Structure 1
Amino acid sequence: MASSMALSSPVSLFQLCMLLFSFFFFFSFSTSSSAKLNPTTDSLSLSFPLTSLPLSTAKPLNTNPKLRTLSSSSSYNIKSSFKYSMALVVTLPIGTPPQPQQMVLDTGSQLSWIQCHNKTPPTASFDPSLSSSFYVLPCTHPLCKPRVPDFTLPTTCDQNRLCHYSYFYADGTYAEGNLVREKLAFSPSQTTPPLILGCSSESRDARGILGMNLGRLSFPFQAKVTKFSYCVPTRQPANNNNFPTGSFYLGNNPNSARFRYVSMLTFPQSQRMPNLDPLAYTVPMQGIRIGGRKLNIPPSVFRPNAGGSGQTMVDSGSEFTFLVDVAYDRVREEIIRVLGPRVKKGYVYGGVADMCFDGNAMEIGRLLGDVAFEFEKGVEIVVPKERVLADVGGGVHCVGIGRSERLGAASNIIGNFHQQNLWVEFDLANRRIGFGVADCSRLSK
């Protein structure tokens, strides 16, 4: 994640866990070798539908002649979809034969993991015994040794001499299981190479994580994906369980000719900063406008300082946008100046958002005006006044911006709430991120 976070009562624990998951990765990886994605001209370009057995025996990775691993010469550009609530939930075909698995698409995380437990009530977890390509990493595997670059989280040997990992969160919850190797099968004749995944035997949610950051264990790096993009639809009111559908590409996006791009900020391997996540998609944000008024925020606030604080990242796994104190204070001052007595006093949603309102959200939005995040070369993300406020339930609406400090974070995070009706393309080969306004709900049909 840096991020998957949650700010609504029914799922707040999950989202918070995802956020903590991301930052746990962030702090761990920032102390290891800074892995850089070095894409070649080879690329995997795919798209696919997005909408209890103990792991006691390491099974050999079977070779099935009917399955062809996608090689560097393969080229696919297939559009599909995902479901959007507070997260982007894709459904991936994992294993041989494939078993559909729900995963949260998270550009702030590295390791992908799936659910491998059968609990009551039954969940659609992955059953390793049904896959001929499933393989559990033994304790002798290099990834199971401490301080391996890009994977510094605790790994141990379980009683069966298999590689076991654990993720612990600040609220006391955790996820743990075995590190495994498994394929994603997109059709009977096309599969990815074997990928390193987590196979979770204990977790608090029915969904896994699809790690999409710049690390060497991320899905794009392992599967040789050099470009991907998504289009987040307009979210529905908090009491509406009919989740909208967005679009997702792995590979070239036919709409990219009209995208506007900003260069990703990269950091040399030798650059060690305690608050920096070198594997995040870091962008050069320069300022914020509210209602056409440019806020008095120095551009340096949006870039990492000597300690790494101030980094600005694009994170699909985070629901809201979060700002460091200097930027957040200027935003809040402007909100108070414009809306003053309408602000809900003493109310903090999800422990992070304190710019909330009762009453007519459309009227409040009209008074506030559009919100714009400005980047280099005149590129900007403009959030129209109709979508400035998030419906958090109970008749309450909040500005979708929180204070990073409340999360224990030192970064600016652009969450998926401010990526609605926008193509976001991650061009890894050219080290850039593209944005293009779109009607994302219509595109998915």
Structure 2
Amino acid sequence: MALCKSLLLLFFLSLSTAKTLKPQNPKSLQTQNYSLKFPLISLPLSSPITKQNSQLNTQKTSSIYKSTFKYTMALVLSLPIGTPPQTQQMVLDTGSQLSWTQCTNKTLQKPPSSSFDPSLSSSFSLLPCNTPQCKPRIPDFTLPTSCDQNLLCHYSYFYADGTYAEGNLVKEKISINSLITPPLILGCSQDSSANEGILGMNLGRLSFPSQAKINKFSYCVPPRWSLTSTPPAGTFYIGENPYSGGFRYVNLLRFSGSESRPYLDKAAYTIGIEGIKIGGKILNISRECFRPDSGGAGQTMIDSGTEFSFLVESAYDKVKEEVEKRVLGGAGRVKKVGTVYGGALDMCFEGDVAEIRRLLGDMVLVMENGVEIVTEGVRAMVEIGGGVSCLSFGSSQLLGVESNIVGNFHQQNLWVEFDVLKSRVGFGKADCTKV
């Protein structure tokens, strides 16, 4: 099944080199002894937890790895890959399974200087198509596997916005400070329209956490105020987080491998939202809108690889109704416009953005155990230029998916911890520019 992203991802292993595919609806490290810290780049657009109220794991703390970056709408980190290591830019993506990196294509006149060169790594190996790993089990991938003309395992990623990446499945080591993983299955892309690779972090058996035996990881996304300003840096942990004493947790919804639901992504981090509040008012939306039905539609997932957040039509219609009532019910200085930003955000208004944000108030996703993701008015509306601003929540229908998605834009100034072992996600309010 397809994985949901700000661009809908369809992954398959295929012999074909075709560049079109109809989008479908959704999509050993022992970390107990290590706390590993990587600054990551959040690329544009309550009292915070501090070290004083949490216990720092002092058994071993790694040195900091900080990525260089090129602007995308994603969280980008630097990881050393291969032997000797070659630093690669990777998008941290909890909505994807397979990790892949840009590999040097020597048939190009000017291959990207930052791409991974397999010929320089002694630990690199190609995956032949007769290996068990090249015959993935459902629900890992949705389409059957085949070989390329060299009898090597071939993969292709296709995104709803037209970008793509394809190449061969390989085995290679990833370095994490003084630790080095065993050879992991990765994609080696020699044909891609993307600028960075992907670090797949979902629950699938070929994801980075699954292959590297990582039971817990977390990140803190810093606030983003402008598309043109220097992107701020956030923090990513593998293993125990020194701030977790202040986290509050929601349980993941898990699904058996035997279940067959066409729109369900079983490898996603799926939670159950209880409701939505706008300006302190709880909207009349059934909690069933945020849970998968018999076909899988309505699944709610935490996805760091999606920029904005999206709601299924039945929930979005209620949000839209309340937003229009609040924003357009003022003194008449604001008017709705027909702009659709990024092909996905269609609640756009012309007028003073500060006034619009004041009229709208905070938007809150309410979850179990009293956990709330609060989007203040300043982040509820996104300025797109020309005096126009758009609601930062969109309709899943415009993406062509049947899922609710909580994107990284609405995870700003939050610790988000993925505890795979205990099957839960933790949230902690923070100033992500200072952790």
Instruction: Tell me if structure 2 keeps the 8 A contact 1:49–1:92.
Output: no
Corresponding residue number in structure 2 for 1:132:
122
Corresponding residue number in structure 2 for 1:417:
409
The gaps in structure 2 that reach 5 residues or longer are: 13-20, 42-58
Instruction: Tell me if structure 1 keeps the 8 A contact 2:297–2:403.
Output: yes
Secondary structure of 2:427's aligned partner: strand
- 1:339/1:414 CA distance change after superposition, 3 Å: same
Corresponding residue number in structure 2 for 1:442:
434
Name the amino acid aligned to 1:102. Answer: Q
Name the amino acid aligned to 2:170. Answer: V
Q: Deviations over 1:290-348 (max 9, x none)?
A: 01011110111111111111111111011111000111001000111011262432111
Q: Structure 1 residue 293 and structure 2 residue 281: aligned?
A: yes
Shift of 1:42: 6.6
Query: Which of 158, 161, 174 does residue 148 from structure 2 map onto?
Result: 158
Q: Deviations over 1:58-79 (max 9, x none)?
A: xxxxxxxxxxxxxxxxx85546
Q: Distance in 2 between matches of 1:289 and 1:49?
A: 32
Instruction: Tell me if structure 2 keeps the 8 A contact 1:94–1:101.
Output: yes
Corresponding residue number in structure 2 for 1:2:
3
Q: Structure 1 residue 389 and structure 2 residue 381: aligned?
A: yes
Q: Deviations over 1:1-30 (max 9, x none)?
A: 83332xxxxxxxxxx3xx334799x96997
Q: Distance in 1 between matches of 2:80 and 2:31?
A: 26
- 1:343/1:273 CA distance change after superposition, 3 Å: farther
Secondary structure of 2:321's aligned partner: helix
Instruction: Tell me if structure 1 keeps the 8 A contact 2:100–2:187.
Output: yes
After the TM superposition, which of the residue ranges 146-155 and 432-441 deviates more from structure 2? 146-155
Corresponding residue number in structure 1 for 2:18:
none
Corresponding residue number in structure 2 for 1:432:
424
Instruction: Tell me if structure 1 keeps the 8 A contact 2:39–2:233.
Output: no
Corresponding residue number in structure 2 for 1:20:
9
Q: Distance in 2 between matches of 1:126 and 1:433?
A: 33
After the TM superposition, which of the residue ranges 358-367 and 92-101 deviates more from structure 2? 358-367
Q: Structure 1 residue 237 and structure 2 residue 226: aligned?
A: yes
- 1:76/1:222 CA distance change after superposition, 3 Å: farther
- 1:89/1:410 CA distance change after superposition, 3 Å: same
Shift of 1:166: 2.1
Instruction: Tell me if structure 1 keeps the 8 A contact 2:217–2:419.
Output: yes
Name the amino acid aligned to 1:397. Answer: S
Q: Structure 1 residue 220 and structure 2 residue 212: aligned?
A: no
Shift of 1:357: 2.5
Q: Distance in 2 between matches of 1:309 and 1:258?
A: 33
Q: Deviations over 1:349-373 (max 9, x none)?
A: 1121111223332222111111100
Secondary structure of 2:315's aligned partner: helix
Secondary structure of 2:261's aligned partner: coil
Q: Structure 1 residue 338 and structure 2 residue 326: aligned?
A: yes
Shift of 1:162: 1.8
Q: Distance in 2 between matches of 1:238 and 1:171?
A: 20
Which has a greater percent of helix?
1
After the TM superposition, which of the residue ranges 408-417 and 77-86 deviates more from structure 2? 77-86
Secondary structure of 1:222's aligned partner: helix
Q: Distance in 2 between matches of 1:413 and 1:128?
A: 36
**How many residues of Structure 1 are paired with residues of Structure 2 in the alignment?**
397
Q: Distance in 2 between matches of 1:28 and 1:141?
A: 29
After the TM superposition, which of the residue ranges 420-429 and 166-175 deviates more from structure 2? 166-175
Shift of 1:287: 0.3
After the TM superposition, which of the residue ranges 258-267 and 388-397 deviates more from structure 2? 388-397
Q: Distance in 2 between matches of 1:339 and 1:178?
A: 51
Q: Structure 1 residue 190 and structure 2 residue 179: aligned?
A: yes
Q: Deviations over 1:240-268 (max 9, x none)?
A: 3x111111100110100001100011112
The gaps in structure 1 that reach 5 residues or longer are: 6-15, 31-38, 52-74
Shift of 1:190: 2.2
Corresponding residue number in structure 2 for 1:116:
103
Query: Which of 315, 337, 349 does residue 341 from structure 2 map onto?
Result: 349
- 1:191/1:243 CA distance change after superposition, 3 Å: same
Q: Distance in 1 between matches of 2:161 and 2:222?
A: 31
Corresponding residue number in structure 2 for 1:98:
85
- 1:113/1:235 CA distance change after superposition, 3 Å: same
Name the amino acid aligned to 1:357. Answer: F
- 1:170/1:237 CA distance change after superposition, 3 Å: closer
Q: Distance in 2 between matches of 1:326 and 1:50?
A: 35
Q: Distance in 2 between matches of 1:103 and 1:396?
A: 32
Shift of 1:377: 1.5
Instruction: Tell me if structure 1 keeps the 8 A contact 2:165–2:194.
Output: no
Name the amino acid aligned to 1:358. Answer: E
Shift of 1:433: 0.4
Q: Deviations over 1:56-101 (max 9, x none)?
A: xxxxxxxxxxxxxxxxxxx855465566852101111111111111
Instruction: Tell me if structure 2 keeps the 8 A contact 1:422–1:440.
Output: yes
After the TM superposition, which of the residue ranges 384-393 and 303-312 deviates more from structure 2? 384-393
Shift of 1:180: 0.3
What's the % identity of the aligned pairs? 59
Matches within 5 A, 1:13-412: 16=7, 19-21=8-10, 45-48=35-38, 50-51=40-41, 77-78=61-62, 86-118=73-105, 119=108, 120=110, 122-145=112-135, 150-170=140-160, 173-187=163-177, 189-240=178-229, 242-340=230-328, 342-412=334-404
Secondary structure of 1:344's aligned partner: strand
Corresponding residue number in structure 1 for 2:48:
none
- 1:123/1:355 CA distance change after superposition, 3 Å: farther
Secondary structure of 2:257's aligned partner: coil
Shift of 1:152: 4.3
Secondary structure of 1:230's aligned partner: strand
Shift of 1:396: 2.8
Q: Distance in 2 between matches of 1:169 and 1:251?
A: 31
Shift of 1:236: 2.9
Q: Distance in 2 between matches of 1:176 and 1:411?
A: 26
Q: Distance in 1 between matches of 2:340 and 2:141?
A: 35
